[in-house]
Structure 1
Amino acid sequence: MSDALINGLAGAGGGIIAQLLTYPLQTVNTRQQTERDPKREKRKLGTIGQMYQVVKHEGWDRLYGGLTPSLVGTAASQGVYYYFYQIFRNKAEASALERMKNGIGDGSVGMFSSLVVAALSGCVNVLLTNPIWVIVTRMQTHTKISKQSKPIYSPAVAANEAAVSAIEPTPYGTSHAIQEVYGEAGVRGFWKGVLPTLIMVSNPSIQFMLYETMLKKLRKRRASQKKDSGGITASEIFLLGALAKLGATVVTYPLLVVKSRLQAKQVAGGDKRHHYKGTCDAIGKMIHYEGFAGFYKGMNTKIVQSVLAAAVLFMVKEELVRGVRLLLSKKVTNTVR
């Protein structure tokens, strides 16, 4: 089994576990990012309060709306990302060693090369998996009105919900979301928000650059202390992953809000202030009608969710890689015997 395939499978496994643990936070955060009702916004409920409101008015299942396609998307995204990341990383390391033979550098991959490797991997990942995340966003932002109690809606949203309930007597599922997206914009609709998402490649790029840099320094410190240079614990990986994701999220969060706005359902004939033709139109309208604060809606929730998810992902992924390599080495040893 190739090193790239091991990392790809381990990344998919780590991503699934992280997604299962943090999905309710992700659902609430997506709703915060796409919230456009001033009355609801003024209530300023915290993350826990919003989770309670969703459960109270729509049921527990809405906190996990879109979980199935999200798990598929996470497995695909992390698998694709780590697979290509390892391939590009191996080439970068081979190039660095070649340059060292020619008297250039110390043979290690620098920060800029790490950034390029992460960016290339991210671009491949985005282009292949964006349709899945469009469906997930639709399912996370779809609201279900309870028969016992109804949340506060603006007249426009209430009218839209009435129309939706008349058309959709069955629960809103993956097939409904796919039909809805295709009905609005055809095949192109599945790549809505791809431009800000491609720019968002800088998020995992910054994250991996920070992670690899901190990991490299920690290993060097261990080596200088005459300890096993590869003996990084799971808790240390968890902490490094959390710190790297925190830095990347703070820098790139506004792009994530724009992406969510573009991918969420836009009511035909609704408020034109919230109907976006594209990335530039969305940015312009958000600045004009909401100010720069609009780009940071739900950031506190996102930091908690993404940092926790990234930390779990890195920790589980590294442990899986270590475990698979150990199993393969034992298998080779037994075969030789």
Structure 2
Amino acid sequence: LMSGKPVSAVSIAGHVQQVFSHVKIENLVAGLSGGVVSTLVLHPLDLVKIRFAVSDGLELRPKYSGILHCMKSVWQQEGLRGLYQGVTPNIWGAGASWGLYFFFYNAFKGYTKEGRQTELSATEHLSLHLENVFDLILTLPILVLTLGILTLTLTNPIWVTKTRLVLQYNADPGSKQYKGMIDALVKIYRHEGVPGLYKGFVPGLFGTSHGALQFMAYEELKRGYNKYRKVPSDAKLSALEYITMAALSKIFAVATTYPYQVVRARLQDQHNTYNGVLDVIRRTWRNEGVIGFYKGIIPNVIRVTPACCITFVVYENLSRYLLGQDQ
């Protein structure tokens, strides 16, 4: 299609078969494991980030002077359980997101590199998620739900329940309407229908670029570093080297895309009502200015950098072990 030539059903089937020939369940298991481990360790910071992101001046919201004050207040009022509100959907969501992302990312990566003698460049790593994925979507409709869009479609209801659970404040007993993840899913569906479960989906679509930017930076850092060491681009690195590259790539992606997380959290918040993405943007800009779109970014950076490092280290080592490449 991109070249102006029609694509036959046989050609599409051939491309699909080629892509799925690179699918490895080991990548799914390794990515899922990394996401679960990092979530269990760092969920309290995710709670802090969301509470800051939605801080729009409503009286019912607790007032926090900083990250430590927020964590201390929640701990004093509700203990460890309070700091881990929403951890169940977070584990499901993060595990599924990382697992599916690594699963499909490596399949597309293998497909793109098939038959090539040279390494993918930085722009090719990015286009693997954007331009080449767009081209695949045009020529291979069966793959339209892969990568970020597929992951978001599957996990958006989980993220909505996580946000709702995280924003159940102890000072407002009336808001304690959800007993857990399943209870939240059922009640949101019953009272708000499918649209309620997909609040924040549109800004989430913009968030798919986050993964593209992160993986582009991560792969390019690994490639450049191994080239500097004069070893194969897929040579195994040390845990510290994986951590450094994962941290740098994550900070780059977060700094570039953070505002979408504020917009998404506010749309999913049960304490305020917005008439869509544009309404969130307009009201946030009018009442809080540019800074409103970056509320919570500090706890987010503090959280996602080690979270990403943990995820990538677990993924790289576990996937190598499962694939028999640990040497």
1:122 aligns with 2:129: no
Select the residue among 309, 312, 325 that pairs with 2:310. 312
Any conservation in 2 of the 1:207–1:244 contact (CA below 8 Å)? yes
The letter for the 2-side match of 1:296 is: Y
The 8 Å contact of residues 81 and 124 in structure 1, kept in 2 or not, is answered as: no
Describe the SS at the equivalent of 1:37.
Answer: coil
CA distance in 1, matches of 2:302, 2:127: 27
2:283 to 282, 285, 296: 285
Measured in 1, the distance between the counterparts of 2:175 and 2:29 equals 39
CA contact (8 A) 1:10 1:79 kept: yes
Distance in 2 between the 1:304 and 1:281 partners?
A: 29
TM-score when normalising by structure 2 = 0.82
Aligned to 1:323: 321
- Partner SS, residue 17 of structure 1: helix
Matches of 1:34 and 1:292, distance apart in 2: 14
Q: Secondary structure at the match of 2:275?
A: coil
Write the distance in 2 (CA, Å) between the matches of 1:10 and 1:135. Answer: 25
2:269 pairs with one of 242, 248, 264:
264
Would the aligned equivalents of 2:23 and 2:104 in 1 still touch at CA under 8 Å? no
- Measure the CA separation in 1 of the matches of 2:175 and 2:51: 18
Q: 1:175 to 1:231 in 2, by over 3 A?
A: closer
State how 1:220-231 maps to structure 2 within 5 Å: 220-223=227-230, 230-231=235-236
- Which of the numbers 190, 195, 199 marks the counterpart of 2:202? 195
Distance 1:228 1:87 in 2: 18
Sort the Cα spacing of 1:14 and 1:4 in 2 relative to 1 into closer, same or farther, 3 A: same
In 1, the alpha carbon distance for the partners of 2:268 and 2:128 equals: 27
Please give the alpha-carbon distance, in whole angstroms, between the structure 2 residues aligned to 1:293 and 1:282: 14
**Residue aligning to 1:234:** 239
Indicate whether 1:13 and 2:33 are aligned.
yes
Find the residue that maps to 1:326 and give its secondary structure. Answer: coil
Compared with structure 1, are the counterparts of its residues 40 and 183 closer, same or farther at alpha carbon in structure 2 (3 Å cutoff)?
closer
- Judging changes above 3 Å, is the alpha-carbon distance between structure 1 residues 240 and 200 closer, same or farther for their aligned structure 2 residues? same
Aligned partners of 1:196 and 1:2: how far apart in 2?
30
Distance 1:117 1:4, change over 3 A: farther
What TM-score comes out, normalization by structure 1 length? Answer: 0.80
Amino acid at match of 1:124: L
Q: In structure 2, what is the equivalent of residue 271 of structure 1?
A: none
Q: 1:221 to 1:283 in 2, by over 3 A?
A: same
Shift of 1:56: 1.1
Report percent identity of matched pairs. Answer: 30
Q: CA deviation at 1:313?
A: 0.6
Which residue of 2 is the match for residue 216 of structure 1? 223
**Residues of 2 paired with 1:11 and 1:26: CA distance?**
19
Shift of 1:283: 0.7
1:86 paired with 2:106, answer: yes
The answer to whether the aligner puts 1:253 opposite 2:258 as a matched pair is yes
* 1:28–1:50 Cα contact (<8 Å) kept: yes
Q: How many angstroms does 1:136 deviate by? A: 1.0
Of residues 29, 35, 41, the one that matches 2:55 is 35
The structure-2 alpha-carbon separation of the partners of 1:164 and 1:26, relative to structure 1 and needing over 3 Å to count, comes to closer
Question: What residue ranges of structure 2 are gaps of 5+ in the alignment?
Answer: 1-20, 134-146
Match status 1:49 vs 2:56: no
Q: Which amino acid aligns with 2:160?
A: V
Corresponding residue for 1:131? 157
1:152-181 Cα offsets, whole Å, 9 max, x none, are xxxxxxxxx35446xx5xx73223322342
**2:84 aligned with 1:73:** no
Give the whole-Å Cα distance in 2 for the aligned partners of 1:85 and 1:228.
Answer: 17
Distance across 2 between alignment mates of 1:17 and 1:262: 28
Matched, 1:111 2:122: yes
Cα distance, 1:228 vs. partner?
A: 9.5
1:11-44 per-position Cα deviation (integer Å, ceiling 9, x unaligned): 0011111111111111111111112236799965
Q: How far did 1:260 drift? A: 0.7
**Structure 2: distance between partners of 1:184 and 1:15:** 31
Does the 8 Å contact 2:213/2:253 carry over to 1?
A: yes
Moved more, 2-11 or 313-322: 2-11
Greater mean alpha carbon deviation, residues 207-216 or residues 112-121: 112-121
* RMSD across aligned positions (CA): 2.5
Does residue 185 in structure 1 map to residue 192 in structure 2? Answer: yes
Structure 1 residue 193 displacement after superposition: 0.6
CA 1:219/1:3 → structure 2, altered by over 3 Å: closer, same or farther?
A: farther
One-letter amino acid matched to 2:246: G
Question: C-alpha distance in 1, partners of 2:234/2:201?
Answer: 40
Q: Aligned AA for 2:274?
A: Y
Which residue pairs with 1:151 in the alignment? Answer: none
More helix by share: 1
